[in-house]
Amino acid sequence: MLPHGVINAVAHAVRCPFKQCQYPNCRLVYALLLHGSRCQVRVPGGCLLCKKMWLLLYHHALSCKEDECYVPRCRDIREKMRKRLQAERDDEIHNKAAVRAAPGA
Ligand SMILES: [Zn+2]
Ligand SMILES: [Zn+2]
Ligand SMILES: [Zn+2]
């Protein structure tokens, strides 16, 4: 699990121009995102830093409401989550319909 301060720093760090920024976790998150954009190993290769970066992006996207978000993949992740949620809802409706149609229910 990630500390909240780190998640909050994502939206800040992607736009932060300062090399010596004092914002909590800014440089930490920045370094992680930079790693993610340069890494050749990546998650399928078992890179732990990349895994951490994706976790961070995912948690950011969960709470992000920005239409024009600068965080990489943020809108992709949100779109995927929205679709999955929609699919789950569809399943639920189907299941309820199945229960109603079952004899004796
Ligand atoms: Zn900063
Ligand atoms: Zn990596
Ligand atoms: Zn975002």
| Structural domains present in the chain | 4-101 (1.20.1020.10)
pLDDT at 105: 58
Give 101 Cα–ligand 2 centroid separation in angstroms. 50
pLDDT at 103: 74
CA 38 to the chain's CA centroid? 19
Q: Is the pTM of this model over 0.85?
A: no
Mean pLDDT of 56-63: 94
Ramachandran angles phi, psi of 18, nearest 5°? -95, 130
Mean pLDDT of 23-30: 95
pLDDT at 100: 81
Which residue type sits at 101? A
Give 64 Cα–ligand 3 centroid separation in angstroms. 5
Cβ atoms of 75 and 55 closer than 8 Å: no
Higher pLDDT, 97 or 85: 85
Rg (CA), the chain: 19
- Which residues lie near ion ligand 3 (Cβ < 5 Å)? 64, 66, 69, 71, 74
pLDDT at 1: 67
Ligand in nearest proximity to the CA of 61: 3
